Amino acid sequence: MRRRWIADEVHADRAWLLGKNAQHLVRVLRAQVGQEFDVAADGQVRVGKIVSINDNRVEFELREAVAAGPALALTVIMSVFKFDRMEWAIEKATELGVAKIIPIVARRTDAHLAKAVDKRVDRWRRIAKEAAQQSRRLDVPEIADPSKLAEAIQKISGTRILLAETEQENTLKSQLQNVSQPVMLAFGPEGGWTEDEIRQFEAAGWATATLGATILRSETAIIAAVAIAVSELSSTT
């Protein structure tokens, strides 16, 4: 199986890896002119033959298309929580196939995290790109700029589900039965959503769901829920 890369630049039947991607391919993998890799470019995967190399730029000639599975229209609203654990959640959600992640500052987000959130977005995007390449995805999920809760929940359409500790009956799996994409899942911070936030979701037409009786850490809840959603949605595509 050929290793897959996501192109940094694309023009017609040429694609390029730049910067760290190029350096890794050249210095670590010892790539040579003439080698072939899978290259994700402009929404499809094609066989890419290396035609030129330097330390910071690798050029591919794009050839025949490679079969790729359908993408899932799955968005995650992720309340900001401890950055090391949030980075892990972004990485794993990317590997599982989410299309978009929207970070928000919730009422119970720690103040020092809220102040630093804008400085973390570029790092989150790098993590998502590395995870997308490692997991042989067709594309990189969009990591949106941090948003206010009211803005995030109002402008999204489709099947919308709030994961809430206050929900006792409706499981996520049951809420995903016979739904259409796109699907949005929202996760609160450590300490959960406030009553006022839950009312905002309800007023905007969001359904609620539970992952069970136990209280999960934020990153555990995200990965468990995304895995359930991917399984359910994949079976209907």
* Domain range annotation of the chain: 4-66, 74-234
The residue among 85, 92, 153, 147 whose CA lies nearest residue 114 is 147
Q: Looking at the predicted structure, is the pLDDT value of residue 103 above 90?
A: yes
pLDDT score of 236:
64
What own/partner pairs with CB < 8 Å and gap ≥ 24 does 209-214 have?
209/161, 209/162, 209/163, 209/164, 209/167, 209/170, 209/171, 209/172, 209/174, 209/175, 210/163, 210/164, 210/165, 210/167, 210/168, 210/169, 210/170, 210/171, 210/172, 211/163, 211/171, 211/172, 212/171
Task: Determine the pLDDT at residue 135.
Answer: 85
Helix and strand numbers, DSSP H then E, in the chain:
8, 12
Mean per-residue pLDDT, 139-159: 85
Mean pLDDT of 26-36: 90
Rounded percentage of the chain residues whose pLDDT exceeds 70:
97
Cβ–Cβ under 8 Å, residues 41 and 7: yes
Question: Residues with Cβ < 8 Å from 31, sequence gap 6 or more?
Answer: 25, 37, 50, 53, 58
User: Using CA atoms, how far apart are residues 229 and 7, in angstroms rounded to an integer?
Assistant: 28
- pTM, whole model, 2 decimals? 0.80
What radius of gyration, in Å, describes the C-alpha atoms of the chain?
Answer: 20
pLDDT band at 84; cut points 50, 70, 90:
very high
Region 118-129 average pLDDT: 94
What letter represents residue 138's amino acid?
L
Task: Tell me the CATH number for domain 74-234.
Answer: 3.40.1280.10
Cβ(146)–Cβ(80) below 8 Å: yes
Q: What integer best gives the mean pLDDT of the chain?
A: 89
In angstroms, the CA 44 to CA 203 distance is 39
pLDDT of residue 137: 84
Helix (H, G, I), strand (E, B) or coil at 34: coil
Amino acid letter, 213 = A
Report the CATH fold assignment for 4-66.
Ribosomal Protein L25; Chain P (2.40.240)
Per-residue pLDDT tens digits for 207-222: 999 998 888 899 999 9
